């Protein structure tokens, strides 16, 4: 079926397969008090329930603005739409009396050494990640939510993302705009035990009780200097990632999913010590116990002010512990050779709300 159920112990859009199209949009909440926030989350849940299940588009008499944009015709098709709702640190600033409920690692995202963060592309009270098969489906969903929440949500930043069609069709690892397979080292999102250990907050994480079943989100908007990359020798490109460009195999190995043997390559003869994969996941004591579940999308805007392609990656990862997950990984990556070709300029830290069951609404356990 084309329906990805939005109900369950966890929200959809995290361990469910990544379809081709995405919109990431951050909002500030306009409500002044807890009751207003509750109404906002209830209304969001209602819209998500309708949009992800689909059905006849609402109609109105000609004197009123049409309640549905009409973009999907008379019937809204589910089209594997997921809308994942996450909250930012600013939601816990006191406006809603939620200071004591803040997940312990949730803060404003700091700038890492290679970052050039632009405040207009950062943070927000809420992040919605909308994913579906077709571009018009995610656009319809975002317009529907904005139309229904004019007095409740103010959009802050938005980025469109895409996955290569071939990867989605053949269920293979997507290739990013550098031309490398991206996602090979991911844990298996179909393995519930692994997801419980790595992705979903549970009692071991010592988080506020409401957060159980949720997950930390790190989203980073990263521009690539592709003109420069496209003039870089293949050997250098491969050394930067530590993988073969065509097969995706760790250098010195044959197949994409072969595990590199770093212990047998202590001087980085095959996989350079400063390569992205080796720094990201050094495998010093076997696989890291805080591996990230990455679910990134590529983006393509217009040109930068200096006339270069404005393209890159919407890096997004989910983990039950932001500190040992994204933050520790990013610290190991600081100073990596890849930095010559990338410039992170936006994003933020968020916490994906626990799932909703029965007639519940998103964020119910928080409020
Ligand atoms: C692996 C690309 C940013 C964490 C990889 C791989 C590629 C890649 C091609 C190898 C294939 C794979 O295992 O998926 C990029 C690009 C980035 C980027 C183009 C943006 C500029 C990041 C960031 C983090 C990160 C910001 C986290 C802080 C990882 C991890 C692996 C990985 C954990 C898996 C390593 C392994 O299991 O061997 N990345 N990455 N990456 N990357 Fe990135």
What is the average pLDDT score of the chain?
A: 96
**pLDDT tens-digit map of 187-206:** 999 999 999 999 999 999 99
> Does the beta carbon of 277 lie inside 6 Å of ligand 1?
yes
Cα 42 to middle of ligand 1, angstroms: 36
- pLDDT over 70 at 342, yes or no: yes
Handedness of CA 241, 281, 105, 32 (dihedral sign): positive
**pLDDT tens-digit map of 89-116:** 999 999 999 999 999 999 999 999 999 9
Cα 21 to middle of ligand 1, angstroms: 20
Nearest residue (CA) to ligand 1, atom 30: 280
Q: What is the torsion angle, in degrees rounded to the nearest 10, for the CA atoms of residue 192, residue 194, residue 197 and residue 199?
A: -80
| Beta carbons of 80 and 19 less than 8 angstroms apart | yes
> Does the beta carbon of 297 lie inside 6 Å of ligand 1?
no
Cα 231 to middle of ligand 1, angstroms: 21
SS3 311: strand
Whether the ipTM is more than 0.90: the answer is yes
Domain map of the chain by residue range?
21-352
Cα 305 to middle of ligand 1, angstroms: 28
Nearest residue (CA) to ligand 1, atom 4: 280
pLDDT at position 169? 87
pLDDT at position 291? 86
> Does the beta carbon of 322 lie inside 6 Å of ligand 1?
no
pLDDT at position 290? 74
Q: Mean pLDDT throughout 13-20?
A: 97
**pLDDT tens-digit map of 56-75:** 999 999 999 999 999 999 99
SS3 content of the chain, % helix, strand, coil (to 5): 25, 25, 50
Q: Mean pLDDT throughout 270-293?
A: 88
Chain centroid offset of residue 47 CA: 21
Q: CA angle 116-199-112, nearest 5°?
A: 15
């Amino acid at each position: 079926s084309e329906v990805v159920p939005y109900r369950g112990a966890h929200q959809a859009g995290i361990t469910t397969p990544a379809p081709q199209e995405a919109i990431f949009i951050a909002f500030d909440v306009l409500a002044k008090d807890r009751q207003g926030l509750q109404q906002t989350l209830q209304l969001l849940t209602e819209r998500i329930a309708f949009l992800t299940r689909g059905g006849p588009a609402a109609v109105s008499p000609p004197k009123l603005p049409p309640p549905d944009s009409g973009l999907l015709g008379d019937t809204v098709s589910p089209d594997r739409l997921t809308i994942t709702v996450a909250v930012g640190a600013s939601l816990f600033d006191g406006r809603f009396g939620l200071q004591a409920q803040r997940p312990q690692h949730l803060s404003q995202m700091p700038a890492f050494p290679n970052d050039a963060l632009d405040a207009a592309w950062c943070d927000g009270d809420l992040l919605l990640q909308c994913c579906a098969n077709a571009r018009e489906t995610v656009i319809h969903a975002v317009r529907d939510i904005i139309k229904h929440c004019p007095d409740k949500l103010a959009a802050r930043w938005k980025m469109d993302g895409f996955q290569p069609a071939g990867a989605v069709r053949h269920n293979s690892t997507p290739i990013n705009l550098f031309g490398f397979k991206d996602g090979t080292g991911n844990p298996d999102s179909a393995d519930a035990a692994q997801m419980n250990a790595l992705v979903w907050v549970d009692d071991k994480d010592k988080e506020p009780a409401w957060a159980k079943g949720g997950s930390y989100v790190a989203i980073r908007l990263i521009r690539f200097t592709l003109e420069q990359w496209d003039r870089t020798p293949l050997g250098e490109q491969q050394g930067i990632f530590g993988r073969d460009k065509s097969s995706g195999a760790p250098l010195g190995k044959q197949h994409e999913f072969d595990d590199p043997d770093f212990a047998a390559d202590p001087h980085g003869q095959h996989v350079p010590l400063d390569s992205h994969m080796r720094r990201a996941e050094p495998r010093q004591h076997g696989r890291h116990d805080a591996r990230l579940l990455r679910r990134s999308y590529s983006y393509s805007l217009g040109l930068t002010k200096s006339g270069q392609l404005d393209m890159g990656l919407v890096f997004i990862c989910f983990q039950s512990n932001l500190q040992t997950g994204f933050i520790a990984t990013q610290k190991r990556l600081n100073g990596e050779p890849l930095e010559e070709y990338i410039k992170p300029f936006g994003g933020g830290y968020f916490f994906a709300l626990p799932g909703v069951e029965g007639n519940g609404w998103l964020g119910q356990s928080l409020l």
